[in-house]
Amino acid sequence: MKRRNFLKTCGVTSASLLLLNDTFAAASSEYKKNPKIKPIMGSWFEFMHGSAAEGKYWNPGLPHLTEEQWKLKIKEMSEAGMEYLVLMSVANDGKTFYPSKLQPRYDYVCADPLEAVLSAADECGIKFFVSNDFWADWRDGKKMMANAEVAKLREKGMEEVAEKYSHHKSFYGWYYPNESGLRNTIDEVTINYVNNCTKIARSLTPHAVNLIAPYGTKSIRLDDKYVAQLERLDIDIMAYQDEIGVKKTKAGTAGKYYEALYKAHAKAGRARLWADMEIFEFEGEVYKSALIPASFDRIIQQMEDISPFVENILVYQYLGIMDKPGSVAPVGHQNSGKLYTDYTSWLKAQR
């Protein structure tokens, strides 16, 4: 894919703005208020998608975003009702997305994207869960979670990130991005990894709220063993992946899994239950092609299905999959503007 040429100026004429407003108003009238459906409260956020194939429509452009454009993306997410953002990674494959003494920095136009987005989040009232990884190969999750040398580097990274950025009021907590596949139950590797990360997080940022987002949602055996393992897991929030986008479940069916999780969490008395809802689909083969926006009809079905059982719905993800039409920093697939308009029209009708 050719690199996106980001607009230097807004370049939207008065007539274009009027047309956008008319389109938005028309779309708003199609939706009715439904208090049973929870809105999207936040999104994952990244400076680079790990898979080049999946990030086809936004990876090439991200290194060219200026400081002001990164800040603008945060403002746009706030305008779309996002109150929480979850940073996927502070590093990737041996380089960092901020000035670090531990690894070289990616050659981005913006010298410090992390400072840019946290500063903008301060102004917008957004709460950021800041990643504590990927300090090694993100594709080798087991090594990232269990390897002693990686653990030492991760701890140093958390110390550095906390020293440089925890003064921001938007620094709400930490996200541990090594995804835990919960096949049947929570394994010991996951418990040790999470609990060690939380111990460090609390020593550095005592008031931080910490989050993980496990996958394997439909494969969990929500029995007494799971409840017992959950009681041992020192984490504040678990945002389970609904796995609709990766085609492990179908829209309209995930609610039964979240209902069972709701009961298990209530029994354990541990970890607030959120959702990591997938708003994408694959352009071709699953995991081997680009992520593109799903239809809003599918997404609203997902929202309706899981809303009764979770405290908040987060999505993977705004950046690249949703995008405000007319943005001076367009990022994502050509249909990302339509999804933005569809969702914000629905959101307007709920108020």
Arithmetic mean of pLDDT, 185-201:
95
Answer yes or no: is 80 within a domain. yes
Answer yes or no: is 41 within a domain. yes
Predicted local confidence at residue 84, as pLDDT: 98
Predicted local confidence at residue 2, as pLDDT: 32
Q: Are strands 84-87 and 237-241 parallel, antiparallel or unpaired?
A: unpaired
Share of the chain above pLDDT 90, in %: 83
For tokens 């990876």, the residue is 59
Closest alpha carbon to 347 in 80, 126, 84:
80
pLDDT digits (tens, 9 = 90+) for 11-60: 333 333 334 444 444 444 578 888 899 999 999 999 999 999 999 999 99
**Domains of the chain: total:** 1
Q: How far apart are CA 271 and CA 350, in angstroms?
A: 29
Contacts of 310 (CB under 8 A, 6+ apart): 38, 258, 262, 273, 274, 275
Among 19-33, 155-169, 191-205, 273-287, name the one with the lowest average pLDDT. Answer: 19-33
Predicted local confidence at residue 11, as pLDDT: 35
Answer yes or no: is 344 within a domain. no
CATH number at residue 66: 3.20.20.80
Q: How far apart are CA 47 and CA 91, in angstroms?
A: 9
Q: Is the pLDDT of residue 3 over 50?
A: no
Predicted local confidence at residue 66, as pLDDT: 98
pLDDT digits (tens, 9 = 90+) for 332-347: 999 999 999 999 999 9
pLDDT digits (tens, 9 = 90+) for 201-240: 999 999 999 999 999 899 899 999 999 999 999 999 999 9
Q: Is the pLDDT of residue 89 over 60?
A: yes
Answer yes or no: is 302 within a domain. yes
Answer yes or no: is 324 within a domain. no
| Contact present, 329 and 73 (Cβ < 8 Å) | yes
Q: Is the pLDDT of residue 165 over 80?
A: yes
Answer yes or no: is 127 within a domain. yes
Q: Tell me which residue range forms the domain holding 147.
A: 37-318
